[in-house]
């Protein structure tokens, strides 16, 4: 029982790690697109 709950935690951690990677990738793309133009506007 204990073993399977550890496995679930591990799988969730991997899932969140993957989601975090995707978010940071899209965040980088967004930064490239928007940051400089918004800086110029200010």
7: region left, alpha or beta (phi > 0 left; psi from -120 to 50 alpha): alpha
CA 37, CA 26: separation in Å to the nearest integer? 17
Domain boundaries, the chain: 13-42
The model's pTM is 0.47
Model pLDDT, residue 42: 47
What confidence score (pLDDT) does residue 14 get?
92
Question: Tokens at residue 5, please?
Answer: 């709950």
Residue 37 is predicted with a pLDDT of: 60
pLDDT the model gives residue 1: 56
Instruction: Give the largest Cα separation in the chain, rounded.
Output: 58
Question: How does pLDDT run across 1-42, given as a tens digit for each residue?
Answer: 567 888 899 999 999 999 888 888 888 887 777 666 666 654
DSSP 22: H
Which two structure tokens, joined as six digits, stand for 36? 């400089």
């Amino acid at each position: 029982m204990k073993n399977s709950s550890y496995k679930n935690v591990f799988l969730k951690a991997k899932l969140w790690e993957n989601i975090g990677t995707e978010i940071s990738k899209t965040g980088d793309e967004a930064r490239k697109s928007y940051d400089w133009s918004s800086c110029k506007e200010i």
